[in-house]
Structure 1
Amino acid sequence: MSQIDVVIFDIGNVLIKWQPEDFYDRTVGEERRRNFFTDTNIHAHHEKIDAGASLPEMIDSLVPQYPEYAAELRMWNDNWNDLAAPAIPHSVHLLNALADKGVPLFTLTNFGHDNFPLSQAVYPFLTRFDREYVSGRLKLIKPDPAIYAHVEADSGIAPERLLFADDRADNIAAAAARGWQTHHFTTPRGWADRLVAEGLLTEAEAAWPAES
């Protein structure tokens, strides 16, 4: 019998791809994208969205500062579901398999409070969590230990009974330091193997015809 009470999923690069550079390379070209990302430091601004700032308000504040990139900045909001895409099919299969078996599922994700519902509308599997710990709502962001403490206090589940998958080593290290069971996500196959090893899924339930 598994010693895990809850499986916790990160979202970006675990369930849906988060590489916004790909979208801009397709739409404005690699050189323009590179200049846009460097000149505006857009990833640093996005961290503020993950920490609780409003996405549309953030973009509105940046456009006057970088008028030459007004169109690209508007895309960050208006084309959100093109930036945070596509779904990672094998990971989604694993999430659905766990949910269908009645395994309790949480998400612990660095995600803005404005854009998380936009992604849920496009990806219904993001509504299958029993509890949603979204950084933009909590105004706490991984790997701050406070966000992990919040999950523990809110759920009432002992750290060692939580299994957490995240693609970032710093987020995993912070969880492990609190006693969580962790999995550094690199491929869906590796995550599937871990879920099978924990007795949460059978090999057949975790199987996928090709690597995703």
Structure 2
Amino acid sequence: MTIRAVVFDFGGVLFDWNPDYLYRKLISDDVERAWFLQHVCNGEWNLQQDGGRSIVDATASKIKEFPEHAELIRAFYERWPESLKGTLVEGIKLMEDLEHAQVPLYGLTNWSAETFPYAWDNYPFLRRFRDIVVSGRLGLIKPDAAIYHEMFRRIARDLPDLQPQELVFIDDNQANARAASALGWHGIHHTSAAATEAALRTLGVAF
């Protein structure tokens, strides 16, 4: 069956985001910094903001838990743009190659509703996606099936009679790619642009 659209995750595929970029400036000791990012401002905590929790509430709850690190905790979002290093060149090229081949492109990202506007304002290429589902705006996060259903619903408005097997989803998180596959999409676990390109070509995507 023909692939009618490709859906991109953003972080790790198109964007180079890592809080370590910020905290290298704030915590010089590698062991101390690793401990802080594992136990204080860690991925599980950040994911709750991607799921819709406000930055104010997230910061307050974490400071209550670790009051001795209050200044460092506040920095996570006060200086959030410093954790976004920029785009991943090979990922952007893959996106642009698909765009030039007139493959409809969509975005499905776990991202806080409060920090996504920074990316939107500073990275104009995002406007080239036909639609973007931002988890924090919905209060849903991957790999919850509900967020994929919302993405499908939006794409189906553009592409009548859309079938799940006509979609490809690219994500650097294997669990998220598998969740798409479980719904009948073609989930690609993104480990490199070259590997993803090869997987797309195997699926018959011509670009």
> In structure 2, what is the equivalent of residue 87 of structure 1?
87
- Residue 132 (str. 1) matches residue 137 (str. 2): no
Provide the aligned length of Structure 1 versus Structure 2. 201
Q: 1:201 to 1:123 in 2, by over 3 A?
A: farther
- Residue 161 (str. 1) matches residue 166 (str. 2): yes
Provide the secondary structure at the position in 1 that maps to 2:191: coil
* Residues 56, 77 of structure 1: 8 Å contact kept: no
Q: 1:201 to 1:26 in 2, by over 3 A?
A: farther
**Structure 1 residue 73: Cα displacement:** 1.5
| Cα distance in 2, alignment partners of residues 96 and 55 from structure 1 | 33
* Residues 177, 188 of structure 2: 8 Å contact kept: yes
Structure 1, unpaired ranges of 5+: 203-212
Provide the secondary structure at the position in 2 that maps to 1:86: strand
Provide the secondary structure at the position in 1 that maps to 2:17: coil
Q: Counterpart of 1:170 in structure 2: which amino acid?
A: A
| Cα distance in 1, alignment partners of residues 65 and 132 from structure 2 | 34
TM-score normalised by L of structure 1: 0.84
Q: 1:56 to 1:192 in 2, by over 3 A?
A: farther
Query: Cα deviation per residue 1:44-71 (whole Å; 9 max; x = unaligned)?
Result: 2211101011224422443344232222
> In structure 1, what is the equivalent of residue 37 of structure 2?
37
- Residue 194 (str. 1) matches residue 199 (str. 2): yes
Alignment of 1:17-36 (within 5 A): 17-29=16-28, 30-36=30-36
Identity of aligned residues (%): 32
| Cα distance in 2, alignment partners of residues 92 and 103 from structure 1 | 14
- Residue 184 (str. 1) matches residue 189 (str. 2): yes
| Cα distance in 2, alignment partners of residues 32 and 71 from structure 1 | 15
Q: Counterpart of 2:84 in structure 1: which amino acid?
A: A
Query: Cα deviation per residue 1:147-190 (whole Å; 9 max; x = unaligned)?
Result: 11222223223211111100111111111011101211001111
Deviates more, 1:32-41 or 1:112-121: 32-41
**Structure 1 residue 41: Cα displacement:** 5.1
Residue number among 173, 176, 179 corresponding to 2:178 in the alignment:
173
- Residue 3 (str. 1) matches residue 8 (str. 2): no
Q: Counterpart of 1:169 in structure 2: which amino acid?
A: Q
| Cα distance in 2, alignment partners of residues 162 and 143 from structure 1 | 16
**Structure 1 residue 137: Cα displacement:** 0.8
| Cα distance in 2, alignment partners of residues 76 and 104 from structure 1 | 35
> In structure 2, what is the equivalent of residue 209 of structure 1?
none
* Residues 41, 73 of structure 2: 8 Å contact kept: no
| Cα distance in 1, alignment partners of residues 10 and 138 from structure 2 | 16
Query: Cα deviation per residue 1:14-67 (whole Å; 9 max; x = unaligned)?
Result: 111233234323441223312322442532221110101122442244334423
> In structure 1, what is the equivalent of residue 105 of structure 2?
105
> In structure 2, what is the equivalent of residue 123 of structure 1?
123
Q: Counterpart of 1:18 in structure 2: which amino acid?
A: W
TM-score normalised by L of structure 2: 0.86
**Structure 1 residue 120: Cα displacement:** 2.1
Structure 2, unpaired ranges of 5+: 157-161
Alpha-carbon RMSD: 2.1
* Residues 112, 134 of structure 1: 8 Å contact kept: yes
> In structure 1, what is the equivalent of residue 159 of structure 2?
none
